[in-house]
Amino acid sequence: MNILQISSSVLGANSESNRVTKLVVDKLVAANPDAKVVRRDFGSQPHPLLDGAAVGALFTPADQRSPEQAARVALDDALIAEAQAADVIVIGAPMYNFGMPAQLKNWFDAIARSGVTFRYTETGPEGLLKNKKVYVATSRGGVYPTDADPQVPHIRMLLNFLGLTDHTFIYSSGLNMGPDAASKGKQAANEAVEAALA
């Protein structure tokens, strides 16, 4: 089993989403001792933004790229290869200002490449990262009812677009609503991990 662990929190060891992603990965490895884990911590080592230079490099034929352009494309290529090789992807997605961190959005921007991880057909887009399990650990200061959650639908849409349709979201909610609420939110996440990996 190949496991890809994506962390996007800027809080490091104090991050709840990092704690839960580690919990998920530890349980997966315990059940699959031969598993290989690739870890990407974009909170501490952010991937470059998708800017004009990056787009220019991507749209330049490979044999015509400058050394700088080739190096920039290679950074994205490495992330795509990791996603393609993974059997399971575990994503830490704290809620920042009602959305995902820019660090996580950069990862999606890097791996979403037409003709490689998705393609357009006569009937619409088709995701090419298929037959993978995804766990998303999302932490948030408040509590958001399903129909009012501004973050998860965006992440789910991106996953589905890439063909990652088998996903489980694990919530740590109420973390900034006082000690009792935070404790309950963390316990709920622990129980959700146990249930998801039973």
- Residues 159 and 165: beta-carbon distance below 8 Å: yes
How far is the C-alpha of 50 from the C-alpha of 107, rounded, in Å? 10
Q: Which residues are annotated as a binding site for FMN?
A: 9, 15-17, 95-98, 139-142
pLDDT along the chain (198 residues), means of 10: 97 96 98 97 96 96 97 98 98 96 97 97 95 97 87 96 98 96 97 96
Query: Containing domain of residue 24, as a range?
Result: 2-196
Burial profile 158-187: b = 16 or more Cβ within 10 angstroms, e = fewer? bbebbbbeebebbbbbbbeeeeebbebbbe
Number of domains in the chain: 1
pTM: 0.95
Q: What's the CATH number where 13 sits? A: 3.40.50.360
Q: Which residues are annotated as a binding site?
A: 9, 15-17, 95-98, 139-142
How far is the C-alpha of 192 from the C-alpha of 73, rounded, in Å? 38
pLDDT at residue 131, rounded to an integer: 96
* Beta strands 2-7; 133-139: pairing state: unpaired
How far is the C-alpha of 93 from the C-alpha of 17, rounded, in Å? 6
pLDDT at residue 147, rounded to an integer: 77
Residue 174 has φ and ψ, to the nearest 5°, of: 75, 25
